[in-house]
Amino acid sequence: MPIDLRSDTVTRPTPAMREAMHKAPVGDDVFGDDPSINAFQEAVAARAGYPAALFFPTGTQSNLAALMSHCQRGDEFIAGQNAHLYKYEAGGAAVLGSIQPQPIQHEEDGTLSLDRIAAAIKQDDFHYACTRLVALENTFHGRVIPQKYLNEVTAFAADRGLATHLDGARLFNASVATGLPLSSLCNGFESVSLCFSKGLGAPVGSVLVGSDEFIATAKRIRKMLGGGMRQAGILAAGCHYALDHHVQRLADDHCHARLLADGLRDGLAEVKGAEVLSCDTNMVFVRFPEQYCADLQTHMAAHDVLMAPSQKTRLVTHLDVSREDVQKILDVMAAFFRA
């Protein structure tokens, strides 16, 4: 199996996870009869500190259902220019929800300044769409968004009568990195979307959490977005296994990312134009000089290391990257730059 640094979505279910999936009791979830889905939804809701939760096949669909639950046709949501739910979800909110995105520029640290948010809020005037929601993302490109800032934004939004949604695709990484419980990181947000198919290692699955009323709306929207899944407890059981067994080990991924970043800083010291740009939670960003990118990619792939070198290469550690793998990556790369 190659060492794949392109994303933490590339993990494969472990034998123990497959066993849990194999043994999962199932029923028709559209009737609410799947015990594995029900147990998983309850466990996630409790962990995040919300009354209700809803299982989705993907984070994209979970985010879209959240946006469509918060916003009506002709409303708008404020999000970062580089937020996943604005930039990388095929314009779903606009296309399927008739919701206008109002993207704003990020600060250096990935946050959206209160000033920029305030300036983007529309007055009550028939010329404008109705600003309804502020959506944030944590972690953002691996970076943990500071808790104090999140509290400021949720308080500010509440003050301005806006709803808040958190795209917490990698919120468990933030929880492990900060030592704060998931519920603290969710605090103040009306809805949160969590992915189990990233570093947590499940093959499929995201969960949206919120109030009973909000989740009832989201369930109707989920139906509209493609319907319910039936005996999907097989999938939920993989996610539940990840919730029980793969959260604390995210600390290993963070440690491996640091080892990788440190090793690359040493290894690339002599390579003009190469630079480790940042290392946060399970992501390392590295600049490789343009002239090396194609050959480096071929060389790494020839040695079973998958990455896409660029001016801003994202290297992601996860369940299927071990400490030994990190050393191998560094050795293989060193050989390239020695040659």
Ligand X SMILES: *Cc1c(COP(=O)(O)O)cnc(C)c1O
Binding site for ligand X (CB under 6 A): 58-60, 63, 84, 137, 167, 169, 195, 197, 206
Closest CB 143 distance from ligand X, rounded Å: 11
Q: Please give the structure tokens belonging to residue 95.
A: 């296309």
How many alpha carbons fall within 13 Å on the CB side of residue 229? 20
User: What is the per-residue DSSP string for 260-310?
Assistant: HHHHHHHHTTTSTT-EEEEEETTEEEEE--HHHHHHHHHHHHHTTEE---S
State the DSSP code for 146.
P
Cβ-based nearer residue to ligand X, 166 or 333: 166
Shortest Cβ 329–ligand X spacing (Å)? 22
Q: Do 26 and 231 touch, CB atoms closer than 8 A?
A: yes
Comparing CB distances to ligand X, the nearer of 197 and 313 is 197
Least distance (Å) between residue 279 CB and ligand X:
17
Closest distance between ligand X and the C-beta of residue 158, in Å? Answer: 23
Judged by beta carbon, residue 106 or residue 299, the one nearer ligand X is 106
In angstroms, the CA 331 to CA 315 distance is 16
Q: Using CA atoms, how far apart are residues 114 and 318, in angstroms rounded to an integer?
A: 33
Q: How far is the CB of 37 from ligand X (least distance, A)?
A: 17
DSSP string, 47-103: HHT-SEEEEES-HHHHHHHHHHHH--TTEEEEEETT-HHHHSSTTHHHHHH--EEEE
The H or E element spanning position 28 is: none
**What minimum distance in Å lies between the beta carbon of 289 and ligand X?**
28
Q: What's the min distance (Å) between Cβ of 197 and ligand X?
A: 5
> Nearest distance from residue 314's CB to ligand X, in Å?
11
Sequence-separated (6 or more) residues with CB below 8 Å from residue 267: 330, 333, 334, 337
Nearer to ligand X, 41 or 60 (CB): 60
* Nearer Cβ to ligand X (57/146): 57
The smaller minimum CB distance to ligand X, of residues 59 and 101, is found at 59
Whether residue 338 contacts residue 14, with contact meaning beta carbons closer than 8 Å, is answered with no
Minimum CB distance to ligand X smaller for 169 or for 182: 169
User: Which of residues 84 and 318 has its CB atom nearest to ligand X in the complex?
Assistant: 84
| Nearest alpha carbon to residue 172 among 151, 146, 193 | 193
Q: Let me know how long the chain is.
A: 339
Contacts of 323 (CB under 8 A, 6+ apart): 252, 255, 256, 259
* Residue nearest ligand X by beta-carbon distance: 59
